[in-house]
Structure 1
C-alpha cells in the first residue's frame, strides 16, 4: 500500500502503531510524574480526555518532520535530529490544542515532560531495534564473512565502518592508523590495533588476509601501503569509485589498481553543466580511434549528443569504435570516417556536411623516441599541419568550440614531438584571432595510464616474458592520469573555454596533477601486482632516450596560471606573441617544403626558429 509516496509495508505499519502507543504512554506517564507518582482522580479523567489530542498532535508533528520515512534498522544521528524536530512540533501543537480547549487547572509542566518522554521512548526504541538487528545480522552472517582490517585515520575509518554496516561479506576486526595517538582507541566498538608500520604483523596475528584502504585516492597513506604491501600475502582493497556506485553496491569492495598510485584526487566532472552544454548537439572528434580519442567519444556520448562524427586514419580503429558505440548508445546518430587530418579538403567536406558545434582534436603522433629519429617530419605534418587544418575547418564551418589535446611535453620541449605540440598550441592561438566567432582552447596533461605507447603496457608485456623491466633512469618521474580522466579533463576544459566565463579565446588549460610518480616505483608496483618479486623479474636501467626529460614541466618560463571555476583546472597566462597570418602561411610552406626525407639538422634548426624554447637534450 502506498500513501503520499510512501510504501506502507507490514513492518512500517507496525512501527507506526508502536510510535502511537508510545506517545499515548508518554502522555499518561507525564501526568503521573507531574504529580509525584500519585495522580489525583480529577486529573486522571483530564489525562484521558486530552490524550487523543496529544497523540494526534504528536503524530502530525512527526509526520511534518517525515519521521515515518525512517528505517529503524539503520537509524542514525541525522534521523534522531529529525525525530527531535518532529517531537518539538508535536509538543507545540499539543500546547496549542490543549490551551484552546481551556481545561481548568491544567498543569502546564506536563508539556515539557511529555516531550522529553516521547523523544526518549521513540529514540530508545529505534536504537534498541537497530542493535538487535545488527546482532542478529552478525550472528547470521559470521559464518560467511571474511575478516578485514581498515587502514586509515579515525575519520576515514569511521566513514568506512558506516559504509560497511549491513555488509554480509566483511567483518571488521580492527583498524590501523598512521597516527600513534590513535592506538588503543575504539571506534564503533572496533579497536585501533596499531600503526601502519605494524600492518603485516597485526594481520598475521589476527588471521586477516584483507585490508581496506580507507584513505582518499592519491593520499600519501594510500601510496605508502600500496607500494609497501602490494604483492604480499595481504589482499589490498578499496571502496568502489563514484562512477561505479550506480551499478555497484558501496560495500562491494574492489581490488586496488594503478589508479590508486596517483598523487591526487581523481578528476570530478560538473556533469549537470556538461549535459546541458552537449545534450542534443553535433560533436566531431579527430583521432577518434586512439586511446584518448575513443574515451572522448564515450564521455561525450554519455552526455546525450544527438550526433557524433568520428574521424580517424586507422580503418581498424574506427571500425572497432563503431561497433562499440552502436551497442552502447543505439539512440545516438554516429558517423564514422576514415580520414587523415593532413587533408584539409576532406576534413572540410565532413564538417560542412554535419556542421559540428564542438570539435575535439585528438589526432596526433605522441611517441617521443619514435618521432625523434627517422620520423621527425611526420610529427610536424600531423601535429602541426594537421592541427592547422582542423582548427581552420572549425572556423570555416562555424563551430562554436575547438579543443586541442596537448601535452606537458610542449613546455620547454627537448623533443621533436614536444616542440611540434607547442607549435600546435601556437597555431590554435593564431586561429583564435582569425576566427573570433569560434572559441579555441588547448588542454595540457601528463602521461596517461594504459594508453597505447605508455609505460604500463610495455612493463606488463616485459613482466609476462619474465623480465627484465626496462626503466630509463632511477630518478625519472612523471605525472599520471587515467584514460577516462584525460578525456573528462578535455571535455571540462572545452566547457570552461567560453567568453561568457573567462573572456578570451585561445586559452591553454592545465590540470592540477598533484605529486609526480617515480617510474621505477610504478615498475615495482606492477611486478608485485603480478604476484612476482624483483628477484624473479629484475629492473634494468637503460639510460634516457633521445628527447626524454627527467622531470616534466607544466609551465614555460614566461607563463603563469590562475584558478578557474573548476578546482582542478587552471588557465595559463603567457607573454608569447601570437603568430600572424603571414607567419602561419610561412610555417605551412616551410613544413611542406621539407620534403619526404629532410636533413635532421635542417629540420631542428628550422623548428627552433618557430619554437625558441626548444632545446635538444645535451646541446
Structure 2
C-alpha cells in the first residue's frame, strides 16, 4: 500500500492532500462545536455557512503558501510554518464571518477549532514524514558528522533529503551542544567517537568545518586518522559562498588540511603594484603554476593579460576559464591568447612590443625531474635559453618588471632540471647587472599541491586501485604549498624586487612523503600492510630514488638571507657571474647543445657557480640509444673484418696446399 501511494503521480498526491485537509478541517470544527457549545444548536446553520466559506479560503491560503508543493517525506520547517500560518488565517476568517453573520460569543469555538486543525493537519504530515523516512534510510550509509554548527546542520538536512547517507550522530567540541538533539540527531563529544562507530555501525565520518583554520582541521584529523573508517569533508567556505559546490558534495580530505598551515592574507598593495591597470604577460600560461598566476592576475584587474603558451589545448582551456571568470566578476580585462615557444626570441619580442607588455611572469619550464634527465639538451634549451631569450626580448621591448618562477631544486642541484633552473637564475642576475631598464627578480619555492607530477593525486589513484602506493625512499622529505598561495606570494615578491633579487618563499615544515602516504591511506578508511600488520589493505613500496632525485630539498644556497615586508617571503644574496662571464658560458653551452654533447653540457653547468652535484651516469635517452647503435655498428664492423680475415686465411691456405700437392706430384 505504501509503495503504491509513493508511486502515484504528484498531481494525484496533491488531490489526496486537499481531500485529507478538507476532512480534518471539517472534523476539527465539528469537534470544537461539540466541546464548546454544550448542545446549543440555535446558530448551527449560520456557523456551517460561515465554515463553508472559510474552508475553500483556507485551502487557497495553503496553496498560495506552497504547502501542496512540499514533498511530505522531505518536509521541513517551511512547510510546518505554512500549516501554522494557514490555520491562523483560517481562524481569523472564521471569526470575521461569525461577526459579519451575527454569531455571538463564539471566540472559544474559534480558538479550539484552530488548535484542533493545527494538531490534525500538522500532525498528519509529521506522522507521514516519520513513517516514510525510516523506510527510505535502510539502504543508506550511516554517517557521523563532525561539527554541529550551521554547516553541520545544513549538511544533515541535505543528507536526510538525499539518497546516499543517513546522519545518525553529531560530534562537536562545544560542550554546550553536547547531550542535546539537533534535527532529531543526538550530539556527543569527540572522546566518544570510537565507541559510537561500533555501537551505531558508522560507515563514514563527515567533516563539517568549512570555516575552521587549517591548523584546527589538522588537529581534528590527527584524532580521526587511526579510526578504521573513511573521512570525507564538505567543500570549503569559498566554494559554498560562490555557489561552485553544494554542501552535500562530499570530497576526500584535502592534503592542505593534513599540512595544517594557514595561509597569510595577501597584501593588496603588493598584489596590485605590477598588475593593476597594466599590461601583463604570463609565459607557460596553461601550466599548473602559470594558469593559477593568470587566475590571480585577472582578479587584480590588469588592462590586458597576454597568455603565452606552447600547448594549443592548454591555451584554449585557460582562456575559456578566464573569460568565464571575467564575465562572472564583471571585470574589464582584455585577454590575448598567443601561441608560441620561449625558444624564439623574435616571436617573444614582437608580442611584447605589439601589446606594450609592462610585467612578465616567466613560468614556462620543463620541471619534471626524470623527464629532463632523459632529455638533457631540450631541458637546457627550454629552461636556460628559453629564459635568456624571454629576458632579452623583455629588455628590447621595454618591459618594466620580469619575474622568474624558480624552484628549490635549483639549490645545490643533483639533477639537470634543478641545475638548468639555477643557470636561468644566473642569467637574470647577470642581466640585472648589465642593464637597468628591466627589473629582474626570481622567486624560489618547493612542491605545490596539485601541480603536474604531484604525488598527491598519484597516491589517491593508487589507493583507490588497491595499492601498492609507491614512494621512492622511506626518508625522502619535501616542502609543500598550495598553488593559490604560491602564486599570490610570487606576485607579491615580484613587487618587492629591485634588480637581480632571489626571493625564497617560506614553505613551512617539510613533510616526509612516506608519512604522507600513510596518513592518506588511514583517512580513506584503510590500513597499511607491513610487518606489524600483515593483513592490512594497502602496501607502501619503496622503489628507489629516480635519476637526479634528492632525499632533502633546500631553499637557500648560503646563509645570506634577509627579511622582507612580507612574513612569508625572504630575500637571499647569492654568488653570481658578471654578464660577460655568463655570456661566454651561454655561447659554449649553445655550441655543446648543437653538437648534442651531453657530457660537455654537464661539465659546463658544473663550471658555473651552481654547486651542481651530478654523480649519475648520463640518462639521456637519445645519447644512450646512439651509443647502443654505435656499439652495434662497431661490433658488426669488427665481425666483418674478422670474417674477411678468416676467409683470406682459408683461401691462402688452400693455395699453399694446392701448390704443395703439385710439387709432391
- Report TM bin, short chain: 0.5 to 0.7
Q: Does structure 1 retain, via aligned residues, the 8 Å contact 2:271–2:488?
A: no
Aligned counterpart, 1:420: 420
Aligned counterpart, 1:357: 358
Alpha-carbon distance between aligned partners in 2 of 1:591 and 1:475, rounded to the nearest angstrom: 35
Q: Does structure 2 retain, via aligned residues, the 8 Å contact 1:263–1:517?
A: no
Q: Does structure 1 retain, via aligned residues, the 8 Å contact 2:344–2:389?
A: yes
In the TM superposition, residue 175 of structure 1 has moved relative to its aligned partner by 4.6
Figure out how many residues of one structure are paired with residues of the other and give that number: 457
Moved more, 250-259 or 485-494: 250-259
Offset from partner CA, 1:94-135 (integer Å, 9 cap, x none): xxxxxxxxxxxxxxxxxxxxxxxxxxxxxxxxxxxxxxxxxx
- Confirm whether residue 549 of structure 1 aligns to residue 545 of structure 2: no
Alpha-carbon distance between aligned partners in 2 of 1:461 and 1:174, rounded to the nearest angstrom: 30
Alpha-carbon distance between aligned partners in 2 of 1:276 and 1:612, rounded to the nearest angstrom: 32
Instruction: Call closer, same or farther: CA 1:413–1:226 in 2, change over 3 Å.
Output: farther
Aligned counterpart, 1:78: none
Aligned counterpart, 1:582: 580
Equivalent position to 1:212, from 207, 213, 225? 207
In the TM superposition, residue 390 of structure 1 has moved relative to its aligned partner by 1.5
Q: Does structure 1 retain, via aligned residues, the 8 Å contact 2:144–2:206?
A: yes
Alpha-carbon distance between aligned partners in 2 of 1:244 and 1:278, rounded to the nearest angstrom: 28
Q: Does structure 1 retain, via aligned residues, the 8 Å contact 2:547–2:616?
A: no
TM-score w.r.t. the length of structure 2 is 0.60
Offset from partner CA, 1:287-342 (integer Å, 9 cap, x none): 11211112212221222222111112222322333333333335532222221111
Q: Does structure 2 retain, via aligned residues, the 8 Å contact 1:383–1:420?
A: yes
In the TM superposition, residue 418 of structure 1 has moved relative to its aligned partner by 0.8
Aligned counterpart, 2:446: 446
Aligned counterpart, 2:643: none
The answer for unaligned runs of 5 or more in structure 1 is 1-138, 152-156, 499-503
Aligned counterpart, 2:290: 293
Aligned counterpart, 2:506: 512
Instruction: Call closer, same or farther: CA 1:514–1:575 in 2, change over 3 Å.
Output: closer
Aligned counterpart, 1:475: 475
Aligned counterpart, 1:429: 429
Q: Does structure 2 retain, via aligned residues, the 8 Å contact 1:493–1:509?
A: yes
Alpha-carbon distance between aligned partners in 2 of 1:327 and 1:490, rounded to the nearest angstrom: 24
In the TM superposition, residue 352 of structure 1 has moved relative to its aligned partner by 0.7
In the TM superposition, residue 346 of structure 1 has moved relative to its aligned partner by 1.3
Relative to its length, the structure with more helix (as a share) is 2
Aligned counterpart, 1:100: none
Alpha-carbon distance between aligned partners in 2 of 1:233 and 1:532, rounded to the nearest angstrom: 7
In the TM superposition, residue 473 of structure 1 has moved relative to its aligned partner by 0.8
- Confirm whether residue 490 of structure 1 aligns to residue 490 of structure 2: yes
Equivalent position to 2:266, from 252, 261, 269? 269
Q: Does structure 2 retain, via aligned residues, the 8 Å contact 1:240–1:254?
A: no
TM-score w.r.t. the length of structure 1 is 0.65
Instruction: Call closer, same or farther: CA 1:542–1:351 in 2, change over 3 Å.
Output: same
In the TM superposition, residue 407 of structure 1 has moved relative to its aligned partner by 0.7
Q: Does structure 1 retain, via aligned residues, the 8 Å contact 2:489–2:569?
A: no
Q: Does structure 2 retain, via aligned residues, the 8 Å contact 1:218–1:263?
A: yes
Q: Does structure 1 retain, via aligned residues, the 8 Å contact 2:469–2:517?
A: yes
Offset from partner CA, 1:555-574 (integer Å, 9 cap, x none): 22343242x3333x222232
Q: Does structure 1 retain, via aligned residues, the 8 Å contact 2:501–2:571?
A: yes
Equivalent position to 1:240, from 236, 241, 246? 236
Alpha-carbon distance between aligned partners in 2 of 1:172 and 1:277, rounded to the nearest angstrom: 53
Alpha-carbon distance between aligned partners in 2 of 1:419 and 1:565, rounded to the nearest angstrom: 29
Alpha-carbon distance between aligned partners in 1 of 2:237 and 2:347, rounded to the nearest angstrom: 41
Q: Write out aligned runs for 1:101-500 (5 A).
A: 161=149, 168=157, 175=171, 186=176, 199-205=193-199, 209-212=204-207, 214=209, 216-218=213-215, 220-225=218-223, 227-229=225-227, 232-237=228-233, 240-242=236-238, 244-247=240-243, 255=251, 256-266=253-263, 268-271=265-268, 274-275=271-272, 278-329=275-326, 331-373=332-374, 375-463=375-463, 466-495=466-495, 497-498=496-497
Alpha-carbon distance between aligned partners in 2 of 1:533 and 1:205, rounded to the nearest angstrom: 21
Alpha-carbon distance between aligned partners in 2 of 1:430 and 1:524, rounded to the nearest angstrom: 45
Give the secondary structure class of the aligned counterpart of 2:226.
Answer: helix
Alpha-carbon distance between aligned partners in 2 of 1:390 and 1:486, rounded to the nearest angstrom: 22
Alpha-carbon distance between aligned partners in 2 of 1:327 and 1:248, rounded to the nearest angstrom: 13
Alpha-carbon distance between aligned partners in 2 of 1:462 and 1:166, rounded to the nearest angstrom: 33
Give the secondary structure class of the aligned counterpart of 1:595.
Answer: helix
Instruction: Call closer, same or farther: CA 1:467–1:274 in 2, change over 3 Å.
Output: same
Q: Does structure 1 retain, via aligned residues, the 8 Å contact 2:239–2:245?
A: no
Give the secondary structure class of the aligned counterpart of 2:337.
Answer: strand
Instruction: Call closer, same or farther: CA 1:222–1:597 in 2, change over 3 Å.
Output: farther
In the TM superposition, residue 169 of structure 1 has moved relative to its aligned partner by 5.1
Q: Does structure 2 retain, via aligned residues, the 8 Å contact 1:411–1:422?
A: yes
Give the secondary structure class of the aligned counterpart of 2:593.
Answer: coil
- Confirm whether residue 566 of structure 1 aligns to residue 562 of structure 2: no
Q: Does structure 2 retain, via aligned residues, the 8 Å contact 1:312–1:339?
A: yes
Q: Does structure 2 retain, via aligned residues, the 8 Å contact 1:296–1:488?
A: yes
Moved more, 593-602 or 582-591: 593-602
Moved more, 275-284 or 394-403: 275-284
Give the secondary structure class of the aligned counterpart of 2:214.
Answer: coil
In the TM superposition, residue 343 of structure 1 has moved relative to its aligned partner by 1.3
In the TM superposition, residue 355 of structure 1 has moved relative to its aligned partner by 1.4
Aligned counterpart, 1:522: 516
Q: Does structure 2 retain, via aligned residues, the 8 Å contact 1:149–1:176?
A: no
Alpha-carbon distance between aligned partners in 1 of 2:194 and 2:289, rounded to the nearest angstrom: 39
In the TM superposition, residue 604 of structure 1 has moved relative to its aligned partner by 1.8
Alpha-carbon distance between aligned partners in 2 of 1:272 and 1:476, rounded to the nearest angstrom: 38
Aligned counterpart, 2:593: 595
Q: Does structure 2 retain, via aligned residues, the 8 Å contact 1:240–1:248?
A: no
Instruction: Call closer, same or farther: CA 1:612–1:506 in 2, change over 3 Å.
Output: closer
In the TM superposition, residue 270 of structure 1 has moved relative to its aligned partner by 3.0
Instruction: Call closer, same or farther: CA 1:249–1:459 in 2, change over 3 Å.
Output: closer
In the TM superposition, residue 344 of structure 1 has moved relative to its aligned partner by 1.2
Aligned counterpart, 2:605: 607
In the TM superposition, residue 546 of structure 1 has moved relative to its aligned partner by 1.5
Give the secondary structure class of the aligned counterpart of 1:486.
Answer: helix
